[in-house]
């Protein structure tokens, strides 16, 4: 039923990762914030408590946390010559629904991009020569660099309470972390998960630490509430469909 709310300083449309983080930042500045979410309200308990969340039939097969294509969808086509048709079956493109949005069902891994990904056309040209790219390729450089975005990556990791071991801090390789990662300005806010022992071929392939949002210790995220490892009320977790 429609209702009229008192006037607010800010209205957010959608209350997933982006909306929730923006909301708490704006509220901390003293602004009154109203968030509009088309889906249902939900919270860590009881909506995501164990063992309910490991119901593979409900969540992994029937997509209990996803927006149903019958309610809202997008169109898709494989070429410019095809007519775009509605997306009717869920695959790897999964839209979350309810408070938290896709933040409630992401696969629990948080990887930073490589430096070369932001200047991919320049990198390919320098590495392999411009001749390897055909005229119809849309490859290009981003208008910003990894270095410009690094402070924001660092900020998000602290907001979300990301677990991990740094492998490259300001260009210095750190033992135990991923030596191939792009340079970071600081260590992860949460310690890495307990080591997993490998043998045989796996050990010879030199596995490095996995960057995970699964809490390795009591959460120290800058926006976390007591007893919740969450960002602005969005709890980080793996879900059954990810196989993680």
CA distances from 61 to 64, 70, 88, 172 (A): 8, 16, 15, 45
Q: 86 in a domain, yes or no?
A: no
**pLDDT at 124 (0 to 100):** 96
Report residue 52's pLDDT band, with 50, 70 and 90 as the boundaries.
Answer: confident
> What are the tokens at 31?
């602004």
Q: Give the model's pLDDT for residue 48.
A: 84
Asked, for residue 121, whether it belongs to a domain, the answer is yes
The DSSP output letter for 162 is: -
Nearest to 159 by CA among 60, 233, 61, 104: 233
Instruction: Give residue 85's pLDDT.
Output: 93
pLDDT at 13 exceeding the cut of 90: yes
Mean pLDDT of the chain: 82
What is the residue range of 217's domain? 109-238
- Whole-angstrom distance, CA of residue 101 vs CA of residue 18: 9
> What is the pLDDT averaged over residues 62-68?
88
The percent of the chain in helix, strand and coil, each rounded to the nearest 5, is 30, 10, 60
Question: Does 107 score more than 50 pLDDT?
Answer: yes
DSSP 184: B
Provide the pLDDT for residue 198: 56
Residue 225 has pLDDT above 90, yes or no: no
pLDDT band at 196 (very low <50, low <70, confident <90, very high): low
Average pLDDT of 31-51? 89
What band does 222 get if pLDDT is binned at 50, 70 and 90? Answer: low
Using pLDDT thresholds of 50, 70 and 90, give the confidence band for residue 95.
Answer: confident
Residue 65 domain-assigned (yes or no): no
| pLDDT score of 230 | 36
Contact 188, 163 (CB under 8 A): yes
pLDDT tens sequence across 147-188: 999 999 999 999 888 999 999 999 999 999 999 999 999 999
CA dist list (Å): 39 to 15, 42, 229? 9, 9, 22
38, HSE (Cβ side, Cα atoms, 13 Å): 10
216 band by pLDDT with thresholds 50, 70 and 90: low
- Flag whether 61 is in a domain: no
- 150 sits in the region (left: phi over 0; alpha: psi -120 to 50; else beta) called alpha
Instruction: Say if 151 falls within a structural domain.
Output: yes
Average pLDDT over residues 123-145: 93
Counting other chains too, the contacts that 141-147 makes at CB distance below 8 Å and 24 or more residues apart are 142/117, 142/118, 144/118, 145/115, 145/118, 145/119, 146/113, 146/114, 146/115, 146/117, 146/118, 146/182, 147/115
Query: Locate tokens 């997306």: which residue?
Result: 87
> How confident is residue 237, by pLDDT bands cut at 50, 70 and 90?
very low
Determine the Cα angle at 112 with ends 170 and 151, to 5°.
Answer: 55
Query: Does 243 have pLDDT greater than 50?
Result: no
Structure tokens at 177: 């972390």
Asked whether residue 158 is assigned to any structural domain, the reply reads yes
Show Cβ contacts of residue 149 under 8 Å, excluding neighbours closer than 6 positions. Answer: 118
* Number of domains comprising the chain: 1
Percentage of the chain modeled with pLDDT above 90:
45
Residue 16 is assigned to a structural domain of this protein: no
pLDDT recorded at residue 241: 45
Token digits of residue 157: 């990791």
The pair of structure tokens assigned to 228 is 């919740």
Looking at the domain assignment, is residue 123 inside a domain?
A: yes
Percent of the chain with pLDDT over 70: 80
**Which phi and psi (to 5°) does residue 102 adopt?**
-70, -15
């Amino acid at each position: 039923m429609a209702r009229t709310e008192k006037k607010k300083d800010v209205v957010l449309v959608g209350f997933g990762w982006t909306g929730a983080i923006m909301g708490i930042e704006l509220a901390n500045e003293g602004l009154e914030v109203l968030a509009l979410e088309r889906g249902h309200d939900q919270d860590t308990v009881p909506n995501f408590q164990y063992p309910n969340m490991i119901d593979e039939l409900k969540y992994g097969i029937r997509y209990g946390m996803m927006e149903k294509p019958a309610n809202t969808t997008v169109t898709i086509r494989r070429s410019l010559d095809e007519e775009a048709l509605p997306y009717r079956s869920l695959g790897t493109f999964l839209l979350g629904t309810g408070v938290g949005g896709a933040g409630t069902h992401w696969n629990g891994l948080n990887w930073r991009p490589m430096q070369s990904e932001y200047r991919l056309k320049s990198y390919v040209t320098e590495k392999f020569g411009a001749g390897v790219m055909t005229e119809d390729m849309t490859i290009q450089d981003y208008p910003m660099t990894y270095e410009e975005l690094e402070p924001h990556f660092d900020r998000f990791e602290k907001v979300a309470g990301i677990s991990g071991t740094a492998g490259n801090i300001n260009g210095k390789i750190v033992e135990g972390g991923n030596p191939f990662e792009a340079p970071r300005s600081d260590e992860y806010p949460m310690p890495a998960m307990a080591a997993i022992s490998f043998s045989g071929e796996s050990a010879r392939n030199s596995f490095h630490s996995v960057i995970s949002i699964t809490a390795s210790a009591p959460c120290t995220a800058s926006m976390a509430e007591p007893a919740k490892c969450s960002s602005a009320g969005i709890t980080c977790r793996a879900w059954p469909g990810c196989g993680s």
